[in-house]
Amino acid sequence: FWGVNFFEIQKMKKHIYFFMGTTAELIKLAPIIRELKKRKIAFKVITSGQTDVLFDNLTNYMGKVTPDIKFREKGQKSSLLLFAWWLVRTFLWAPIYLGKEFKGLNKKNSYFIIHGDTVSSLIGVLIAHIYGLRIVHVESGLRSFNFLEPFPEEICRFTIIHLADILFAPTRWALGNLKGLSGIKINTNQNTLIE
């Protein structure tokens, strides 16, 4: 299972968190969630509120999953101002709210799993970094090397890969883009979406 024995992680009383803000992130993390459920490994799901994550659409694939912690959603209307307000509100409120969840955890035995390059992933990685959790980045190393294209995704990618402790790259090319960075790097040789 991608070079990491999550069964051993669970046996050692480690904590696993998934942090997501979009249904697309859920779709790509679903194979991992499904495998953890199959192995009866406990985890928690945190949603950022960036969008309404449609868990019910994947019930047939991964079973019933609901967020354990759910931040207030951005709302249906879309505008740059509303997005900026959601971003600031979530980033300021999340560390305080999640502090209660992370209090007393052995931080080195706690894994915070994020996916891809969304603003939610960036918020998640910054919060996990603040609290000293081990950051796991799925679909790591996909880069354009141009901060303006795509924007803001490339900025998110750059920041996330520099803070992550375990980086799962989907291809040899993506793995090569992680050269020189600290952390454990694993080439999964595929995108989780294939599942």
> Is the peptide bond between 152 and the residue preceding it cis, with omega within 30 degrees of 0?
yes
Confidence of residue 1 (pLDDT cuts 50, 70, 90): very low
Residue 35: predicted pLDDT: 92
| Amino acid identity for residue 186 in this structure | I
Q: 3-class SS at 41?
A: coil
**Lookup: tokens for 45:** 């799901």
What span, in angstroms and rounded, lies between the C-alpha atoms of 152 and 166? 22
| Residue 47 pLDDT > 90 | yes
Sign of the Cα pseudo-torsion (86, 89, 95, 100, in order): negative
Name the packing angle between helices 153-163 and 119-131 (round to 10°).
20
| CA separation for the pair 54, 178 (Å, rounded) | 31
| Sign of the dihedral defined by the CA atoms of residues 118, 154, 115, 165, in that order | negative
pLDDT tens column, 26-38: 999 999 999 999 9
Average pLDDT in the 129-143 region?
A: 94
pTM recorded for the entire structure: 0.87
Phi-psi map region of 77: left, alpha, beta (phi>0 left; psi -120 to 50 alpha): beta
DSSP per-residue string spanning 134-183: EEEEES-----S-TTTTTTHHHHHHHHHHH-SEEEESSHHHHHTTTT--S
pLDDT at 147 over 50: yes
Q: Which two tokens stand for residue 150?
A: 């795509």
Q: Are 48 and 19 in contact (CB under 8 A)?
A: yes
- What pLDDT digit, counting tens, does each position of 79-108 carry? 788 888 888 888 888 888 888 899 888 888
Query: Which token pair is 69?
Result: 């912690």
- Location of structure tokens 């980045």: 137
